[in-house]
Structure 1
Amino acid sequence: MWVASVITASLPLLASAFPFPNPPGYGGGEPFFFKGHDLSSLKILEDGGAVYVDTERGNVTRPAEDILGDGGMNTVRLRLWVYPKAPYDGGYYESYGLNYTIPLAKRFHDKGYKIYLDYHFSDYWADPSKQATPEEWPTTLHPLASTLRDYVSSSLLDFHNAGVDLALVSLGNEIRHGMLWPLGEVDVDIQPASARVANFTNLAMLWAAARNGVRDAVACGIQKPQVMIHIDDGWNLTLQETWFSSLTATGQVKTSDWDIFGFSFYPFYGTAATLANLKTSLTALVYKYNKPLHVVETDWPDICNGPSAPELSEQSIPSPSPAKSSGSTTSSTSSRAYRGVLVGV
């Protein structure tokens, strides 16, 4: 099954497993396995004239989510920015605010897909290299925490009032170096441990405020979503253990405050980013924390050559057909490999 190349290259895989009883609302029986894509940009692409062809149905044009659903997708991830505006790098991303994201979530929710909301807590992309505080938010710690709590609560209620029950919410996106910089920035490599924990104190206060925003919204009647902490380099056990132990050592965030681990895994960011190391890391975290795990971002380069090409960690996941710019066959192959890791944890 294929989706037009205009979209597949922009769809990070969401693969996750629950080696635990299902959370409330998921019924009994086998644990629910989330399988999905980030479709945040779908409407932007459609508005630009993109169409999607289903080769399994005689090349008929269909909505992208219907094609992906036939292939097993059951979850859609959507990013949320605070006050998105034309970015400094000239991109087209003047979007992803509530007015854009809620109707898109409603579209997918009404078709039966579970919705995973990815809070960036920024006006633009948030990732390990940038976590800018929204321009209109306070620049001192306690007012910022209060604003964050109110924002999470009110935005969750906005989704609820639109008829969208969120299955998963990530409070921050890839927050290894913290969020809401500079106040919430952290350095996981600081020594000694006491100094590192002190460095995590602001982040812990801010993350706890966001978590309290979820509690406030639940108290107002929304269905409780599963709360995630998402950081990158899921294959790096030392990073994961140090980061989460530092966060909880502040005393402001308890392990019971989050329901799910979310990790990024990009095999082209270093030769140590192997499936074997990923499994080792996730297995250790399962035994330590007894929580579900998700690989919420991954990708695999369909064409990776030339002098600037990175050295890949998993040469054993080739594209099953000649290289195509869509990356869709490669994504399918790698997703099976990741699922094998997660089910085996």
Structure 2
Amino acid sequence: MNLKHFIYFTICCFVFTSCNSTDDGNGSIETPEYHEYISAVDISSWPEIETSNPTFYDAYGNTVGFITQLKSNGVNTVRLRLWVNPLSKHSGFDEVKTFATQLRTAGFKIWLSVHYSDNWADPEHQNIPESWQGLSFSELKEEVGIYTKMIVQELQPEYIQIGNEINLGFLLPQGDINTNYTQFKSLMETAITSVRNYSSESKIIFHFAGLEHADWFFGQVNDLDYDIIGLSYYPIWHGKSLTTLQNTMASLSSKYDKDIVIAETAYPFTLDWNDWTNNIVGQDNQLITTYPATPEGQLDFVNKIKTIAKDVERGIGFCYWGAELIAWKGDEATDGSPWENQAIFDFNNKALPVLEAFLVE
């Protein structure tokens, strides 16, 4: 760098700092925290699907790598579920660690959805892992602390959920938010402490499914130490008003002074199926009328979700759930994918237009 360039660089840095910093009233300068917009996919089943050796194609019919195609289309974060001791070993710690390492090498940020269960955790299922059952409450708290410490030390995720869709709490019945609120809060605090002590850069997300009762839930956890409100939003379960979604996000983030992200969403590109497994979304009455189940309708829906998340003052992004869930077990499988009509590749594994929505301007 010569003298001319040095002077120019110094002036630019001064101007940038002056324009982007504020005086806190005590003479010190505060620089607003920068948040990269989260353009994420949840592809937790990819390690299992990959073993079937599917071939993927871009929009022009060229053979592409699945992960490469995500990256080249603007996905910057990958969300992965983590189960304590799953029977199949899929979504267990070893698989998630290996996959997360590969993803980080490819340039993705890692978002962990920690279920604190051996299987699916959601509003209807929050089962204590088998190896933790029968423990006293103090012993269960200790396991939560040890387990969370291991996760964050080993994986150092950029984002971490304490539980998945914890509308009613987690580790039920001991962590039931309604009947054992004090214990629920204590379990949450134990996990939070492990994150803060062993992964200081990780942002903590509290994840609630839907819009109804979200204000009540975040009021219950308002004095806990977390960073981001996360909401699941699927029209089939959480209402078909995108205006309500936007208003709810704006209200929650303002009232509780938190950044907010759409932690899960998805939409079909067709109502047909590509295997013999019943799809979760398969009827017109499950759709938003203005967004038909077509490739263009899927793209328009996700573009709208992206716009909503950007228009809310403290909205920081969205995550598309099940992006990878093609019918990987074959077209006659009865235990295959219930989601292949909501994946981001079509029934021929060709990239759908929805991938365009992940590019962040």
Asked if these proteins are the same fold (TM beyond 0.5), I'd say yes
Rounded to whole Å, the distance in 2 between the matches of 1:80 and 1:29 is 29
Structure 1 residues 133 and 330: alpha-carbon distance in aligned structure 2, compared to 1, 3 A threshold: farther
**Which residue of structure 2 aligns with residue 336 of structure 1?**
303
1:272-319 deviations in Å (ceiling 9; x for gaps): 342111111111112112211110111223445999847336211224
Q: Hey, what does 1:240 align to over in structure 2?
A: 214
CA distance in 2, matches of 1:273, 1:156: 37
Q: Does 1:144 align with 2:140?
A: yes
Whether the 8 Å CA contact 2:271–2:293 is kept in 1: the answer is: no
What's the counterpart of residue 245 of structure 2?
A: 278
Distance 1:214 1:332 in 2: 36
Amino-acid identity (%) = 26
Shift of 1:261: 0.6
Q: What SS does the aligned partner of 1:231 have?
A: strand
Matched, 1:120 2:97: no
State the match for 2:232 in structure 1. 264
Do 1:79 and 1:119's aligned partners in 2 also have CA atoms closer than 8 Å? yes
Partner of 2:38: 34
1:266 alignment partner AA = Y
Inter-partner Cα distance in structure 2 for 1:246 and 1:110: 38
Cα drift, residue 137 of structure 1: 1.2
- What whole-Å deviation, never above 9, does each CA across 1:65-109 have from its counterpart, x for those lacking one? 2111222111101111101114xxxxxxx4111110111011110
Structure 2: distance between partners of 1:29 and 1:130: 36
What are the equivalent positions in structure 2 for 1:195-214 lying under 5 Å apart?
199-214=180-195
SS at match of 1:126: coil
Q: Is the Cα contact below 8 Å between 2:291 and 2:301 reproduced in 1?
A: yes
Q: Which residue of 1 aligns with 2:158?
A: 167
Give 1:179-258 correspondences, 5 Å limit.
179-187=170-178, 199-218=180-199, 224-233=201-210, 235-236=211-212, 239-248=213-222, 254-255=223-224, 257-258=225-226
Query: AA paired with 1:106?
Result: T
Q: How many Å separate the matches in 2 of 1:332 and 1:112?
A: 24
Q: Give the alignment's Cα RMSD to 1 decimal.
A: 2.5
1:60 partner letter: N
Aligned equivalents of 1:320, 1:55: Cα separation in 2: 15
1:78 aligns with 80
Contact 1:81 1:121 in 2 (8 A): yes
- Cα distance in 2 between the residues matched to 1:216 and 1:279: 34
> Aligned pair in 2 of structure 1 residues 227, 308: CA closer, same or farther (>3 Å)?
closer
Native 8 Å contact 1:319 1:333 kept in 2: no
- The verdict on how the C-alpha distance between 1:30 and 1:206 changes in structure 2, with shifts beyond 3 A counting, is closer
Q: How does 1:151-162 map to 2 (within 5 A)?
A: 151-159=147-155
| Contact preservation (8 Å) 2:114, 2:162 | yes
User: How far is 1:61 from its partner?
Assistant: 2.5
Contact 1:269/1:310 (<8 A) preserved: no
**Conserved? CA contact 1:275–1:314, under 8 Å:** no
Bigger Rg, which one? 2
Greater Cα shift, 122-131 or 239-248: 239-248
Change (3 A) 1:308 1:102: closer
CA distance change for structure 1 residues 140 and 30 in 2, over 3 Å: closer, same or farther?
closer
Give the aligned partner of residue 299 of structure 1.
266
Give the TM-score taking structure 2 as reference length: 0.70
